[in-house]
Chains A and B, each alone.
Chain A
Amino acid sequence: MNPEKSSPLLRVRGLKKHFPVHEGLFRRQTEWVRAVDGVSFDLYSGTTLGLVGESGCGKSTLARLILRLLEPTEGQVEFEGVDVSGVSMREFRSVRKDMQIVFQDPHASLDPRMTVESIISEPLRIFGLNQRKERRWRVLELMDLVGLDPAFLKRYPHEFSGGQRQRIGIARALALEPKMIVCDEPVSALDVSIQSQILNLLEELQERLGLTYLFIAHDLAVVRHISDIVAVMYLGRIVEMATASKLYESPQHPYTQALLSAVPIPDPEIERKRKRILLEGALPSPRQFHPGCSFASRCPVVDASCRSTPQTLREVTESHRVACHLVKTS
């Protein structure tokens, strides 16, 4: 994996999404929720970018901004070298073919009134791709690909288990033969035993179809398992980004360190000796504007300049970038 030489499949620059907050009798707009506040990264073809962060840090919003299910407030999204953030929805339709999404909740993401066939073939029908008969073959092929019994073609989502439903969701995402799939916490709603099945399926599909994943999760072990590069998000910003092994072995940002220290170790001996970094206070409201580091209010190593100096991602070692001025560049 040496992606730096080629141009990235997906290039995100300074992406922002601020939601207006309306309050009071006349619903005047009073504040902004800075859900995503200036995110930049590159995603190279055939690789997986893992995105971790606690609930409400803007992971899912980021995914929806990239797919333009939400309109960004600011920033650019380039797909295959073309800026797609400003184009009209009609022009963006052609990009949709190459960018698909797998949702978190397999119960909510499948229309309960549709059969498996119509769910999986929906993207094909929207784009008017195959003829009716061919379409069925394509659906059967996709079902086979994701490990669903083709006999279930005429069944309804409520007749399946969570893992099977997620397979249906993956088959739907694959229908248009996309180049990139955004996985928005695809395994969070599943049992642990099923999680690994789905993860293995995703890896297998990546290998066979040369897919690129933007993989969102809050489970650190899951992300480590599947990702080439991991980005840690906190309050709408990426605070640390590195290759999976580097990030997990030597986390640099105090938030990442705290996050990793919270992972329990399945060995009672080591677990007892494990030192946890306990963060003070709760997640601050994303409504507030932080001139300096957004983590300053909870950071154990905070100093005076943290609250005023804006923190930007900078390379500390090769392919390891941290947004903290306290981390020394080697």
Chain B
Amino acid sequence: MSTSDPVKFVAGRSLWQDAFRRLLRNRMAVVGAIVTLLLACIAIFAEWVVPVDPTYQELHHRFGVPGQVHDTTPERLFLVEGERTSFPPLRYRGKGTRHFRFLVQQRIATGVHVHLSARSKKVRKIQLTRIDSLPESVERIEVRGDREVFRHGKGEEEVTVLDKEIVLGEKLDDVFLPLLSRASRGRQKLVLNQVVRAETNQTLTFDLESDQTVRGLRIDNQTVATYDLVGRLVQEVRRDGKPFQHRHLLGQDMHGRDLFSRLVFGARISFLIGVVATLVSLFIGVFYGAVAGWVGGRVDSFMMRVVDILYGIPYMFLVIILMTSFGRDVRVMFIALGAVQWLTMARIVRGQVLSLKEKEYIEAARASGGGGFWILTRHLIPNTLGVIAVYTTLTIPSVILQESFLSFLGLSPEWQGQPLESWGALTWNGIQALGTGQNWWLLVFPAMTLAITLFSMNFLGDGLRDAFDPQMKGRT
């Protein structure tokens, strides 16, 4: 037999490879695919892309014009007894040394403990490296590590960190607090326990160094007794002590938040809703359609009439009713949008299964002894996958559009009570902002981003359809 010789197998070209080649020849689809992939990457790596935290408000620069550059301004802190005040997170890229300036504007009485805690999910080490321009009236600075319970895995672990008292006059170069965490997910707190007697308008500058991302500082004001603490300012500064400069590429909104950063995080929410709702519809639709197509007969007729009836219901109405009655939780939205989208998916899969099950190769598999499961996994699913993939890529932009539409109506989804600001919500904010002046950028940029995304996704979907089914080219 000739097989004893080494045979060089000629690699065949599968239908998938064939479709991929056809897709590459479609220029618009390739452009659409690149743009879509780029946007998806931006959505996934949003933290690394944004220059400023999207929730960081600069109230001095409300409605900042696109391209404007300005210094960050010190934040006024209102400390209330027994409550915690968050220092606004300025940047996501907080790795490395960060410098903070603490401006004491008013006299603070002796014995006030101000806890500065750097809170982060992944802090290995926070180092207090330098305290300069110390007010003369400060008698003593006490740096104390707090006791924190670290949670990791199932057990809990209590870690005590270094306690150190710094006496005035001592050089502070080597003072650091190694907050070593074996549980990287635990939240950690550095306490700068100051016993301050300060005069008005004196500044205290210190640096924080961290191996990992620090999402801002928190001022934990626990032991203040009776003193008025209004009017202190905290600011993150550059190494040389000067304030940071920010360029707001696409301008700022009514609260002074950076529009570009908000768009980047909006991409994450829009994409997430698009993908998850599509997956919901995929799951229901494929299962329903496959059962109807495979069983056939009366079951099929009944199942498809149900779909027909559901088609007749004005779906936006349904989604709005669902969201107003079950709350605006994003999970409700996933279910509501998915529940609408699965109808078409079910019809497509049913039609596909119906035509496939009459194919002779299915009969051949049965004649070879293949059971239902074998035929389903080896023949039906691989042969419907192309169509499902095409329809899925076309469903995602349509879901994104519907979500934007809902957000535009003011029904933006929420997660744990926090509004999720998708592109639709940003567009809606832009429309509202138009009423307060010529803030065109707040409408134009979100709307354009949305339009470009939808265009590229649809081009990609159309390209995929043409690639998988060349006979259908040009038809809808």
* Interface set of A (CB-CB < 8 Å, partner B): 27, 64, 67, 69, 93, 96-97, 99-101, 103-105, 108-116, 122-123, 126-127, 137, 140-141, 144, 150-156, 158-159, 169, 172, 175-176
Q: Which residues of A contact B363 (CB under 8 A)?
A: 64, 69, 101, 103, 109
Q: Tell me whether A122 and B368 are in contact (CB under 8 A).
A: yes
CB within 8 Å of A: which B337-396 residues:
359-361, 363-370, 374, 378-379, 382-383
A156 to B360, CA, bound (A): 17
A27 to B9, CA, bound (A): 54
Q: Shortest beta-carbon distance, A14 to chain B, in Å? A: 23
CB within 8 Å of A: which B299-343 residues:
none
Choice from B1, B364, B369 contacting A93 with Cβ under 8 Å: B369
Q: Tell me whether A113 and B382 are in contact (CB under 8 A).
A: yes
Answer whether A158 and B15 are a contact pair too, CB < 8 Å, given A105-B360, A109-B361: yes
Q: Shortest beta-carbon distance, A145 to chain B, in Å? A: 9
A140 to B9, CA, bound (A): 11
Q: Which residues of B contact A151 (CB under 8 A)?
A: 7-10
B437 near A: Cβ within 8 Å?
no
Q: Tell me whether A111 and B383 are in contact (CB under 8 A).
A: yes
Supplied contacts A111-B382, A144-B2, 5 more A-B pairs, CB within 8 Å:
A99-B367, A112-B383, A152-B9, A153-B9, A155-B10
Q: Tell me whether A140 and B361 are in contact (CB under 8 A).
A: no
Q: Shortest beta-carbon distance, A113 to chain B, in Å? A: 5
A21 to B16, CA, bound (A): 40
Q: Tell me whether A96 and B367 are in contact (CB under 8 A).
A: yes
Choice from B12, B16, B382, B383 contacting A159 with Cβ under 8 Å: B12
A254 to B33, CA, bound (A): 68
B3 near A: Cβ within 8 Å?
yes
Q: Tell me whether A154 and B12 are in contact (CB under 8 A).
A: yes
Q: Which residues of B contact A156 (CB under 8 A)?
A: 12-15
Which of A64, A113, A152 has the largest number of chain B CB atoms within 10 A?
A113
Chain B binding surface, main DSSP class: helix
B11 near A: Cβ within 8 Å?
yes
A111 to B385, CA, bound (A): 14
Q: Tell me whether B360 and A109 are in contact (CB under 8 A).
A: yes
Q: Shortest beta-carbon distance, B70 to chain A, in Å? A: 59
Q: Shortest beta-carbon distance, B18 to chain A, in Å? A: 8
A169 to B363, CA, bound (A): 12
Q: Shortest beta-carbon distance, B443 to chain A, in Å? A: 48
Q: Tell me whether B9 and A154 are in contact (CB under 8 A).
A: yes
Q: Tell me whether B7 and A140 are in contact (CB under 8 A).
A: yes
A64 to B364, CA, bound (A): 11
Q: Tell me whether A108 and B361 are in contact (CB under 8 A).
A: yes
Q: Which residues of B contact A172 (CB under 8 A)?
A: 364, 368
Q: Shortest beta-carbon distance, A150 to chain B, in Å? A: 5
Contact with A along B133-175 (1 / 0, CB 8 A): 0000000000000000000000000000000000000000000
A22 to B449, CA, bound (A): 55
A64 to B11, CA, bound (A): 35
A315 to B8, CA, bound (A): 57
A156 to B18, CA, bound (A): 11
Q: Which residues of A contact B359 (CB under 8 A)?
A: 108
Q: Which residues of B contact A153 (CB under 8 A)?
A: 7, 9-10
A116 to B383, CA, bound (A): 16
Closest residue of chain A to B370, judged by CB? A126
Q: Shortest beta-carbon distance, B364 to chain A, in Å? A: 5
Q: Tell me whether B367 and A176 are in contact (CB under 8 A).
A: no
Q: Which residues of B contact A176 (CB under 8 A)?
A: 368
Q: Shortest beta-carbon distance, A246 to chain B, in Å? A: 32
Q: Tell me whether B383 and A127 are in contact (CB under 8 A).
A: no
Closest 3 CB pairs of A and B: A155-B12, A123-B368, A109-B360
A109 to B2, CA, bound (A): 27
Q: Shortest beta-carbon distance, B367 to chain A, in Å? A: 5
Q: Tell me whether B367 and A100 are in contact (CB under 8 A).
A: yes
